[in-house]
Structures are given as structure tokens and as C-alpha cells.
Amino acid sequence: MGRKTSAFNVVSVALGLAFLYLPIVILVIYSFNGSRLVTVWGGWSLTWYRALLSDRAMIDAAWASLRIAALSASAATVLGTCAAIALTRMGRFRGRLLFSGMVYAPLVMPEVITGLSVLLLFVALDVDRGFWTISIAHTTLTLCFVTVIVQSRLISFDRSLEEAAMDLGCPPLKTFLTITLPLIAPAIAAGWMLAFSLSLDDLVIASFTTGPGATTLPIRIYSEVRLGVKPEINAVCTIMIAIVALGTVASSLLAKRGAMRRERAALSAQM
């Protein structure tokens, strides 16, 4: 769209971003507050981070969350990529409507419904609830996000590359591994990261599917937050924000480097 930028455009974008970031910035600043009271500034201090180090329950919860997130994101990436390939490459198969319905529905399905229903399945199957049930529920929730990301990459890249390989006698599996997979790899990586952060973040579904001994970080934070603001929680949140920010910066740098390398390769091929 147009290059003609008015002051109105600039102001609305600036205000929008300020609205999105101000609360987070305030939270981060207050995690370094030396005073226990929210409005009283007691000088910069690491008191709450130190308190966190001795909070065994919080550390255990964080560790449980990280393990569940890594496992469910990996499973969701495999399943979601398969689903994306099926939806873009297999044309009209029987049951396609049901399949695509099941893939897209979790994107908007209220979490209380997903959580309740998957818990009732586990009860019906008489499974012990805990680490594995949360992981399965998170895999189901996040695989649709992976599918959407990978699918949009699959439809946007040049199909003639695949066709050329096949025409030259390359078997389908090899074509997929040597041509398709490297092309969609950035989308798969982005899908994994999104699935990971969604799992790390989820409170509602984890609350339904958890069992004794499997407290995740959001469940822990939620039970503390219900009792009011605590400076330790500010510190936990700041650490989580820092991890996400670092991850995002690192992945965008990697993507940029990959793009530059590709460009250079394309240039040298032309010469």
C-alpha cells in the first residue's frame, strides 16, 4: 500500500506499540524494586531474584513446564508438519473437510472446552494424570498453530523446484528431504518455537489435565497471583520475558543470516 504517510498513521502506530509494551516495561522495572510495596520505589535491587533462587516449588514448576513444552512442541511440530503437507499436497481425499475442521478448530476453540473435554477422555480411559496427560493435551492444542505456519510456507514457495526434481527422476521421498524440507525448514522452526511458548504459557488446559505432582509454572504463578501481587512473581515474569526476547532475537538473526547466504549463493550461480 501507499507510501504517503500521514502524521495520523505514525501516531496511531506509536500509540499502539506504547500500549502493547508499557505494561511489560513497568513489570520489568518493578521486578528490580527493593520495596515490597508496589507504588513505593525502594531503589534498584535484586532481592526478588535472590528470593526466587530459594523457592524450590517455583523452580520445580519451571522445570516441569520446560520439559512438557519441549516434548509437546516437538511432537506437535512433527504432527503439524504432516498435517500441513497432507492439506497442501494431497488434493481432495476422503474426509478432508473433517480433517481440516479438526486442524483449524483448536485455533479459536475456548480453552475451557478443550481442557474439560480432553480431561474427560483421560478419565474415561482411566489414565493417571500428570506429565504425560499435559504433554498430550498441549500437543493437540499447539499442532494446529504449526500446521498453519508450515502450510502458509508450503503454498507460497515455487512448486516447479519439486516438479523439476521429480521430472529428473528423483523419488518423492528424496525430493521431499532434499528440496521441500530445506525450503520449509524456517517455518518448521518458527512453528516449534510458537508451540513451545504456547505450551509454556498455558494455564487453563494444564489445570484440567494436571495430576498430583505435576505443577506447571503457570499453575504455580496463577495460584500465587490470586492472592495478590508479589514481587517474586514480577521477577519470574521478567526472566520468562527475557528468555522469549533472546529467543526471538536469536531466531531472527539466524533467519537473516540464512537469507543472506541464499542470496549470495544465488548471485554466484548467476555469475
Partner 1 sequence: MSMGAKKGRRLGSTRLVLLIPYLWLALFFLAPFLIVLKISLSQTAIAQPPYVPALDWVAGWAGLRDFVAALSTDNYALLGSDWLYLVSYLKSLQVAAVSTAILLMIGYPIAYGIARLPRRLQPILVMLVILPFWTSFLIRVYAWINILQRDGLLNDVLMRLRVVDQPVAWLSSDAAIYIGMVYSYLPFMVLPLYATLEKVDETLLEAAADLGCPRWKTFWLVTLPLSLPGLAAGALLCFIPITGEFVIPDLLGGSDSMMIGQTLWMEFFANKDWPVASAIAVALLGLLLVPMLFYERLQQRSLEGGR
Q: Which among 42-50, 55-63, 180-188, 197-205 is the span making contact with partner 1, rule CB under 8 A?
A: 197-205
Start-to-end Cα distance in the chain: 34
Among 252, 257, 259, 262, binds partner 1 (CB under 8 A): 252
168 binds partner 1 (CB under 8 A): no
Among 47, 72, 135, 151, binds partner 1 (CB under 8 A): 151
229 binds partner 1 (CB under 8 A): yes
With respect to partner 1, which residue has the nearer C-beta, 119 or 271? 119
269 binds partner 1 (CB under 8 A): no
Distance CA 105, CA 22 (A): 32
Q: CB of residue 270 vs partner 1: minimum separation in angstroms?
A: 24
With respect to partner 1, which residue has the nearer C-beta, 47 or 197? 197
Per-residue string for binding with partner 1, 16-55, x by CB under 8 A?
A: xx-xxx-xx-xx--x------xxx----------------
Among 52, 69, 71, 200, binds partner 1 (CB under 8 A): 200
Distance CA 46, CA 36 (A): 12
Distance CA 214, CA 58 (A): 12
Q: CB of residue 265 vs partner 1: minimum separation in angstroms?
A: 22
Nearest to 72 by CA among 221, 248, 183, 202: 202
What are the φ and ψ backbone dihedral angles of 242, each rounded to 5 degrees? -60, -40
- Classify each residue of 52-81 as buried b or exposed e, where b means 16 or more C-beta atoms within 10 Å of its C-beta: beebeebeebbebbbebbbbbbebbbebbb
Whether 83 and 102 have beta carbons less than 8 Å apart is answered as: no
Q: CB of residue 159 vs partner 1: minimum separation in angstroms?
A: 10
Among 72, 135, 180, 197, binds partner 1 (CB under 8 A): 197
With respect to partner 1, which residue has the nearer C-beta, 71 or 80? 80
Q: What angle do CA 154, 159, 160 make, to 5 degrees?
A: 160
- For residue 138, with 0-12 CB atoms within 10 Å meaning exposed, 13-18 middle and 19 or more buried, which class applies? buried
With respect to partner 1, which residue has the nearer C-beta, 19 or 268? 19
Grid coordinates representing 76 are: 506437535
Site residues (CB under 8 A) for partner 1, limited to 72-101: 79-80, 82-83, 85-90, 93, 95, 99-101
Site residues (CB under 8 A) for partner 1, limited to 123-142: 123-124, 136-137, 139-140
Distance CA 31, CA 229 (A): 11
173 binds partner 1 (CB under 8 A): yes
260 binds partner 1 (CB under 8 A): no
